[in-house]
Amino acid sequence: MSERFYKFGLAGFRWLCSVEVLARPLDLFSKVWLRHRKLRAHLRAGQFDAVVDGGANVGEFARIVRQVLPQTNLLCVEPHPGCAAALRKQGFQVMEAALWNQPDRLRLSQPTSASTSCTVMLTSDDCERVWEVAAVRLDSLPIAGSRVLIKLDLQGAELKALEGMGDLWDRCAGLLLEVSIGVNGTLEPLREMLSRFGFYEYSTTNELEVNGRVVEADKLWLR
């Protein structure tokens, strides 16, 4: 019975994949489902007592943290004014600022219609919108805890932000970072930096492919 069910399931799955109008939403749904499932498992296993959600956007990761670790200290850091307001409406503690290696005022650019594209690394004027935002160091954040998980999705500014860790390194138990892969990507410099602080690459929770090649990924480091 189980073998017949298995064969029937495989046949159905092959059919779904062959129908483009069905395959695309199925592909998107499966990627989101798998990412969320991995994140939930890692949060449960990590014994984190505090979480910094850097580049929180509208709270996709923050909502997972709140569901899985409801008693854990959670601080969302988000420079986009509209996204910061949306986070506050959901009841999250929010620091409306960009993360950087020193206190500063930076230009936040939104090159596309999506708020997830916002970055402080862009110098071009060809943008949908631009704001001047405050920038803070990670070690200045009001976050208590001895096993802190730091998640950074900063559109290329992750290395700069980590230069502002200071004594927060001593309390950091894990880092969930968006990395770019390829020539001039951030993955190798991040690997080198984190290895100096005793972190090892533990898991890849998400990947973005372009023309069959992985160009971005979300990676979890632990120590």
Q: Mind listing the pLDDT tens digit for each residue in 18-73?
A: 666 655 666 766 788 889 999 999 999 999 999 999 999 999 999 999 999 999 99
**91 Ramachandran zone, left/alpha/beta (phi>0; psi -120 to 50):** left
pLDDT at 122: 85
For the chain, what is the mean pLDDT? 91
The CATH class, in words, for 31-222 is: alpha beta
Residue whose entry in the numeric block shows the structure tokens 């939104």: 110
What mean pLDDT do residues 103-115 have? Answer: 93
> Given the DSSP bridges, would you call strands 129-136 and 104-110 parallel, antiparallel or unpaired?
antiparallel
What mean pLDDT do residues 80-104 have? Answer: 98
The string of DSSP codes covering 46-102 is HT-SEEEEET-TTSHHHHHHHHH-TTSEEEEE---HHHHHHHHHTT--EE-SEE-SS
Per-residue pLDDT at 171 exceeds 90: yes
pLDDT at 13: 54
Instruction: Considering only residues 44 and 127, tell me which one the structure prediction assigns the higher pLDDT.
Output: 44
What mean pLDDT do residues 160-178 have? Answer: 98
pLDDT at 210: 84
pLDDT at 26: 63
| Residue 57, amino acid | N
